[in-house]
Amino acid sequence: MQESDYLQAGKIASEVREMVRVKDWIGKTVYEICEEIENEIIKRGAKCAFPVNTSINEIAAHYTAEPNDTLTVKDTDLIKIDLGAQINGYIADTAVTVCYDPEFDGLVQAAEDALANAMSMVKVGVKASDIGRTIETTIKQMGYKPIANLSGHSLEQYTIHAGKSIPNIWSIGGFSLSENTAYACEPFVTTGDGGGFVRNGQIKNIFAINSRKKTKNENADKLLDFIWENFNMLPFALRWITKSWDEKEARETLDFLVKKKAVQAYPVLVEVNEQRVAQAEHTFIPNLNGATITTRA
């Protein structure tokens, strides 16, 4: 584990997140938002660990802008901005919810409080199921519902979801936090009318490489090499390819790679009752006394 790289990525990600938190995004397109935030990460000397996610209202996660996406933030929207910085593949994963409707301020606060309470209990040996219980209890006491089928995760070099899950509800079993391992904790909260679950939506605009096996299609193999060289195993967006490829050709070739299962396409995740969802997220490395929260402001 490269602690200095984790810390550097965390510092950059948290600086950018705090910029995102206070900025007025109303009237901006999600394309402008993603590009601006990604440029802030790059300007500070990191790479993006994944495309900035701009998931609005009932979309809980995994929406990123299409090339020139015109979807525009309205003055009643609640938008979850999830961003990742990486240094040599060591990732900081963090998120903030920006809310322009005071009716949903409590929802955002519940996600923040659940995360703060989780961060105050993490250390080596703490059970993930107990973190889930704290998150669930905090959210329910405030009159909201946790999203049961979204969770935090362990991180490894060039791997965002490295196998271990930190639940947002109490659950039987699970693992205990280890030393020298990075984890992301990310409570998702919906309203009392929400189902407390997400389902896959139709839109898929985040991708990641599955296999580097040649497809015998020259163009597809060229794109596969480009993806591997630029993004490794990490997620990417079509926007990131069309900076050096023709858009129509890139889209068709990417579709082909998805059909060949060389590339995985991730659907957006939507609250089952189409209720609004808030999120907060930190990356942390537990120690014997507590944890280094790499994305602490």
Residues 6+ apart with CB under 8 A from 96: 17, 20, 21, 80, 81, 280
> Using CB under 5 A as the criterion, what x/- string covers residues 166-185 for binding Mn ion?
------------------x-
Considering only residues 38, 40, 66, 82, which one is a binding residue for Mn ion as defined by CB under 5 A? 82
Q: CB-wise, 69 or 93, nearer to Mn ion?
A: 93
Report the catalytic residues.
Answer: 82, 93, 153, 161, 186, 281
In the complex, the smallest distance separating the C-beta of residue 165 from Mn ion, rounded to whole angstroms, is 11
Is the CB of 66 or the CB of 93 nearer to Mn ion? 93
Q: Give me the least distance between CB of 107 and Mn ion, in Å please.
A: 18
Residue type (1 letter), 196: G
Where residue 180 falls (left for φ over 0; alpha for ψ -120 to 50; beta otherwise) is: left
* 161-164, long-range: CB < 8 A, 24+ apart: 164/128
Does residue 93 interact with Mn ion by CB under 5 A?
A: yes
What span, in angstroms and rounded, lies between the C-alpha atoms of 253 and 261? 12
54 binds Mn ion, rule: CB under 5 A: no
∠ CA(13), CA(124), CA(296), 5° rounding?
20
73, 33 Cβ separation under 8 angstroms: yes
Q: Which stretch binds Mn ion (CB under 5 A): 90-98, 123-131, 169-177, 238-246?
A: 90-98
Q: Minimum distance from CB of 84 to Mn ion (Å)?
A: 6
- The residue (of 240 and 245) whose beta carbon lies closer to Mn ion is 240
Q: How far apart are CA 212 and CA 234, in angstroms?
A: 13
User: What residues between 182 and 221 interact with Mn ion by CB under 5 A?
Assistant: 184
**45 to each of 8, 71, 277, how far by Cα in Å?**
9, 29, 32
CB nearer Mn ion, residue 184 or residue 238: 184
Beta bridge partners of 94: 83
Residue appearing with tokens 């969770």: 151
Query: Closest approach of Cβ 58 to Mn ion, in Å?
Result: 18
Report d(CA 215, CA 221) in Å as an integer.
Answer: 6
- Residue closer to Mn ion (CB basis): 8 or 168: 168
**What binding mask, one character per residue, do residues 60-79 give for Mn ion by CB under 5 A, x or -?**
--------------------
* Near Mn ion in 246-265, by CB under 5 A: none
Binding footprint of Mn ion, residue count (CB under 5 A): 5
Instruction: Tell the smallest beta-carbon distance from residue 101 to Mn ion (Å).
Output: 23
Interface with Mn ion by CB under 5 A: which residues?
A: 82, 93, 95, 184, 281
